[in-house]
Structure 1
Amino acid sequence: METEPADSGRPAARRRYDPRLPAPPAFLRRGPWREGAFTSPLHEPRTVVVVGRWLGGALLVCFLTGLTSHLLQDPPGWLAPHLPARPVNGYRVTQGLHVISGLAAIPLVGAKLWAVYPRLFEWPPARSVLHALERLGIALLVAAVLMELFTGLLNTLQWYPWPFPFRQTHYWLGWTAVGGLLVHLSVKAPLIAGHWWRRAAPALAQRRAFLTATTAAVGAVTLVTAGQSVPWLRPLDLLAPRRPDIGPQGLPVNRTAAQAGTVTVPADWRLSVDGPVPYRLTLAELGELPQVSAELPISCVEGWSATARWTGVRMAELVRRAGAPPGSAVRVTSLEAEGPYRVMEMPATYVDDPLTLLALRVDGGVLDADHGFPARVIAPNRPGVLQTKWVARIEVIA
């Protein structure tokens, strides 16, 4: 139905209506419905397949790393005891890749939609029930991908102008997009296979220019945003919503003490540790326990990460003093009055890791109020939202 011209450098009119099917009514034969409305030779399968390969790769990385983040934040009961505390930078890498691939997918989605959008104006809109279902599936796929990227982008800015919960919605949108993509690939498999290799279609100067421009756009977006998680790209971090070296004590803050309602810590603050042998400690008494320092990153779901030197008491030491054996999980409660992460459960793999600390200091200084004074949790390979600040209670739960 469509033919590709030789590499003449001139666009050619493209026939979109199958002569065996009824033509659109006269009142629609104008604008995008008129014959020859789309003249670019780039609205063709080879261009779509090439851009689709890149987009599919970005979406696959984004989905798998997003699934990793979700499982670390909210693991099912059978998985929680097996979550690994190592590698130390595991969450930093996976969540950084999640945001980088998601941002890179935005210009790729734009390029893919531009290449295929003339098909929106085909006539008739549906040639059969199966064709109608196929087009409905594509509409669902496009809507899910656009919504996923849009909400993810605003999450990096910590802006939530919608009434629904972001994390759960983002999670299920991801599954919807992947399901729609698999159905789309199965339906289009013959077309994709036929145009996968370069020799499948004549070379076009326009196609080369279009793909080069798309590559440049993806590269530019990556270079000016990835510095929030990739240290050696930090000098180019021009458009990322967060600079990892800006904030109290040189570290960013997502939730301040004022937002959490913990600006004033009670003068009689005590850390409560509940277990077979419960006890309470003042801040001075905590400081008299053996102190350990560790270089650990703090990495947030928005994509930024930063490394600092944290000093405090090993979580395992606090648990042992409460009479709990190795392999015990804990529940940590913050001083903040409310919030989805006010109470956090930590599996035994993290509790037993010698790098997991109840930190009292960062980079040699007493914790700033915004960083969790008087004490906060810091653990390897852990999302930032689970590095509980303003700790009031540690409870052995298993």
Structure 2
Amino acid sequence: MKLRVTPPVFRGALHDPRTATSIGRWLGPAFAVCFATGLVSHFLQHPPDWLADTLPSRPSWGYRLTQGLHVASGIAAVPLLLAKLWTVYPRLFAWPPLRSPRHGAERLSVALLVAGAVFEVATGLLNTAQWYPWPFSFVPVHYAVAWLVTGALLLHLAVKAPQIRAHWSRRSPGTSALPERDGPDRRSLLAAVGAAVGAVTLTTVGQSFTPLKDLDLLAPRRPDRGPQGLPVNRTAAAAGVGRITGEEYRLVVDGPRPYTLTLEELRALPQYEVELPIACVEGWSASARWTGVRTADLLDRAGAHPHARVRVVSLQPRGGYRMSEMGHTYARDPLTLLALRLNGEELHPDHGYPARLIAPGRPGVLQTKWVGRLEVLA
């Protein structure tokens, strides 16, 4: 008995190149913004050695803007990607599966693009909720797959360029005199997709764009909720930091002229107040008033070279971000403080009591809490 494979037949409207191209006009820019701002985030969190000393600390709101755009564009891409997949999925069943080398390259680019895009959007969305139901480290894998998706997208655009060009304008070549049969349905679909993008954006972007915080219905964070009116990702208990008393606290500054300060001695040094945002990789951000000692003053007292890097070490016993490093542009910026107070009050333990780092333009994971040591690096 001969087995005959019959591919499925799709007769629904709008599974066509014109609709796919129309949605691609929106999805492409969303992915481009997400990729570009993701690169900024990655290089700020994990700068290569050649870049660490040249990263700018200003504008102070720079990371808040780029990471807010990264998460907002990623969330907006969710309904766009679903609509795009709905439009093109019949082509996944095209038969025969390989008709030529060019067709094989196209199918390969589509397979990589679909798998990678779904992975990036899904894992990025779960990261905003700090839920990691996978065995691998999120940051390096998310970063690597972003490059894979970008390469697959460029290959896909190169292969499909003639078709995209033919359907980019409102009327395809040769059809300018005839009305499109599916035009009204296509416009309705695009309006529905646009409404979905607007809805998910408006109900989540308030976590970083605070004027819209009252519409922040779907985001996992409100920028005005938490101890002292500021959210926290990792509490003192979760970090394994026990109760730290002011009497037992010591700050060690290790440099050419090392020294140690008690909390009272820190408080006796010249205090400065700055208004800086704290912006986390999950997308939320909020501005606050921080009061403390300039790190530049602490480094000068230790005899640090003006271009020296600094390692900031937390009293947190473990964790990937219990230490962070600053290039001299951050360490010497007059806005960079070893903060002792938040919004006029002594730091809450979950915000890093007795002392935490706050610097302009840095990801929240590098604004080290419960600081116990500053090390001047050669």
TM-score by length of 1: 0.90
Residue in structure 2 matched with residue 79 of structure 1 by the alignment: 51
Q: Report the counterpart of residue 362 of structure 2 in structure 1.
A: 382
Pair 1:236-2:208 in alignment = no
Shift of 1:313: 0.3
Which amino acid in the other structure matches residue 330 of structure 1? V
Contact 1:376 1:389 in 2 (8 A): yes
Alignment equivalent of 1:163, drawn from 123, 130, 135: 135
Hey, what does 1:219 align to over in structure 2?
Answer: 198
Question: For residue 284 of structure 1, what is the aligned residue in structure 2?
Answer: 264
* Structure exhibiting the larger radius of gyration computed from Cα positions: 1
Q: How far apart in 1 are the matches of 2:149 and 2:56?
A: 28
1:42-66 Cα deviation digits (max 9, x unpaired)? 1111111110111010000000000
Supply the distance in 2 between the matched residues of 1:82 and 1:50 (Cα, whole angstroms).
41
Aligned-residue offset at 1:194:
0.9
1:57 aligns with 2:23: no
The answer to whether the Cα contact below 8 Å between 1:263 and 1:369 also exists between their aligned partners in 2 is: no
Q: Does 1:361 align with 2:333?
A: no
Query: Which residue in 2 is equivalent to 1:312?
Result: 292
Alpha-carbon distance between aligned partners in 2 of 1:305 and 1:249, rounded to the nearest angstrom: 14
* 1:27 Cα deviation from its structure 2 partner: 4.9
Q: Is the 8 A contact 1:83 1:349 kept in 2?
A: yes
Q: Which amino acid aligns with 2:207?
A: Q
In structure 1, distance between residues paired with 2:38 and 2:275: 25
**Partner Cα separation in structure 2 for residue 348 and residue 153 of structure 1:** 34
* Residue range with higher mean Cα deviation, 86-95 or 266-275: 266-275
Select 2:42's aligned residue among 70, 73, 83: 70
Which residue identity is paired with 2:319?
G
- Is the contact made by 1:138 and 1:184 (CA closer than 8 Å) also made in structure 2? yes
Q: What is the alpha-carbon distance in structure 1 between the residues aligned to residue 154 and residue 146 of structure 2?
A: 12
Gaps of 5+ in 1: 1-24
1:101 and 2:80 are equivalent in the alignment: no
Displacement of 1:26 after TM fit? 7.8
Matched, 1:42 2:1: no
For 1:296, give the aligned amino acid.
L
Show the counterpart of 1:10. none
Cα offset, 1:268, TM superposition: 2.1
The residue type paired with residue 255 of structure 2 is: G
Corresponding residue for residue 296 of structure 1: 276
Among candidates 119, 122, 128, match of residue 150 of structure 1: 122
Secondary structure of the equivalent of 1:143? helix
1:262 aligns with 2:241: yes
Distance 1:123 1:329 in 2: 59
Amino acid at match of 1:236: L
Listed as ranges, the matches of 1:311-350 within 5 Å are 311-350=291-330
Deviation per residue, 1:255-299 (Å, 9 max, x gap): 110011113116422100011111110000000000000000000
The question of 1:89 aligning with 2:61 is answered: yes
Provide Cα deviations, 1:23-43, integer angstroms capped at 9, x if missing partner: xx98544xxx34xx3223311
Identity %: 63
Q: Provide the C-alpha distance between the structure 2 equivalents of 1:163 and 1:193, rounded to a whole number of angstroms.
A: 42
Distance in 1, matches of 2:95 and 2:305, equals 71
**1:364 & 1:395 partners in 2: Cα distance?**
28
| Matched residue type, 1:329 | R
Distance 1:146 1:354 in 2: 43
SS at match of 1:257: coil
CA contact (8 A) 1:261 1:336 kept: yes
Residue 396 of structure 1, CA deviation: 0.8
Partners in 1 of 2:129 and 2:210 — Cα distance? 20
After the TM superposition, which of the residue ranges 130-139 and 180-189 deviates more from structure 2? 130-139
Which whole-Å CA distance do the structure 2 matches of 1:364 and 1:209 have between them?
53
Q: In structure 1, what residue type is equivalent to 2:202?
A: L
User: In 1, Cα distance between the equivalents of 2:149 and 2:193?
Assistant: 22
Q: 2:88 aligns with which of 116, 130, 134?
A: 116
* Number of aligned positions between the proteins: 369
Deviation at 1:127, TM superposition (A): 1.3
Whole-angstrom CA distance in 2 between matches of 1:26 and 1:335: 68
User: 2 CA distance for matches of 1:319 and 1:214?
Assistant: 54
Matching residue's letter, 2:341: R
User: 3-state DSSP class of the match of 1:259?
Assistant: coil
CA RMSD of aligned residues (A): 1.3
- CA distance in structure 1 between the partners assigned to 2:54 and 2:260 by the alignment: 30
Equivalent position of 2:105 in the other structure = 133
Does structure 2 retain, via aligned residues, the 8 Å contact 1:65–1:94?
yes
Q: Which deviations, in whole Å up to 9, do the C-alpha atoms of 1:328-386 show, x marking residues without a partner?
A: 22111000000111111111000111000000000010000000000000000000000
1:193 aligned onto 2:172: no
Q: Which amino acid aligns with 1:57?
A: P
Distance in 2 separating the partners of 1:237 and 1:134: 40
